[in-house]
Amino acid sequence: MKKINLLHNDPEVIDPSDPSLRMRGSIEIDGDDCGKWEQHDDGTWTAALITGDETVLRADGKDLLISMIADHCRC
């Protein structure tokens, strides 16, 4: 099984014009950059994966998002 990490970016890089955005960062799978994630104030999490097809996943929590990433990447 591959190791999926949601890395946190500096909070100062969050766009102040998007008040719904709580946190964002990079997605790493086995140490390789595989996309970006965001956590929103409404509790949803999104992931934009670098998979060649511009996949965007949306989940109601961090653990579910990680599971969806694993399923999508066949980890």
CATH number of residue 41's parent domain: 3.30.720
Do the Cβ atoms of 37 and 63 come closer than 8 Å?
no
Tens-digit pLDDT profile for the chain (75 aa)?
A: 789 999 987 666 666 677 787 888 999 999 999 899 999 989 999 999 987 777 899 999 999 999 999 988 765
List the domain range (segments joined by +) for residue 18. Answer: 4-73
Would you say the pTM of this structure is higher than 0.75? yes
**One-character DSSP codes across the chain:** ---EEEEEPPGGGS-TT-TTEEEEEEEEETTEEEEEEEEETTS-EEEEE-SSS--EEEESSHHHHHHHHHHHHT-
Domains of the chain: total: 1
